[in-house]
Amino acid sequence: MLTGLGVLVWYLVAAPGSQLLGPALAHGNPGIPAVALTFDDGPGEDTAAILGILKDAGVRATFFLCGSSVERYPELARRIAEAGHEIGNHTYSHPRLLARTPGKIFWEIDRAQKVIERHTGRPARWFRPPYGLRWFGLFRILRQQRMQAVMWSVNGRDWKTSAERITARVLSHTHPGAIILLHDAPPPGEAGNRRATVEALPAILRILGRSYRFVTVSEMQSQL
């Protein structure tokens, strides 16, 4: 169990809604029936299937790309951009930023930004920290890079459970203005797949689409 100090530290660096270290978008306007679907850690082997499902549903999402994964799958990164999805920066190698020096944090973000722009033709406006962990110095670097931090308000936990449970979790937690966290690949250098996410996505889109409009993170911010 966390102590009082532990709770404070967790809230400071890890709670999705925390604004103590710097401003981070965690949800949209609760009075507007819109949700933002986001995917982290890609591109990867399951990205193409996810892009196909989104295309069939006519949905645009926001993809937070890791620079090293873009280098491994440059064609998929281009496909994400060409399909009209929004691009975000998720660092180069997906490290935990806790206790990292500002120099290391800058290197991760800047290298990813350069790789993303080179392969997609556009710089990322949004940044999502790996594991949602923020650290001292991060927000100064984001200001220098003209980027904004974005977190989430619904976590599908799709890296650790079945398609049925992913679907049930997303549907039960979604609300107007929700930013939904899913993944289209494992983090760089890690084994695994996101086939459960692929299987869950059609039902999520179909059922949420009855009540909500899907928007990008930028569109969600514009509604605030």
E strand or H helix at 54, and its extent? helix 47-57
| Token pair listed for 28 | 């949209």
Q: What is the DSSP letter of 132?
A: G
User: Is 183 designated active site?
Assistant: yes
Which residues are within 8 A (CB) of 207 and not within 5 positions of it... i.e. 6 or more apart?
171
Choose the catalytic residue: 40, 41, 46, 184: 40
DSSP string for 205-219: HHHHTTT-EEE-HHH
Angle between helices 74-82 and 102-120 (to 10 degrees): 70
- Active-site choice (46, 119, 183, 184): 183
H helix or E strand, kind and range, residue 87: strand 86-89
Reply yes or no on whether 90 is catalytic: no
Beta bridge partners of 214: 35
Residues 6+ apart with CB under 8 A from 58: none
CA–CA dist 192, 4 (Å, integer): 36
What is the identity of the amino acid at 85? H
Q: List the catalytic residues.
A: 40, 183
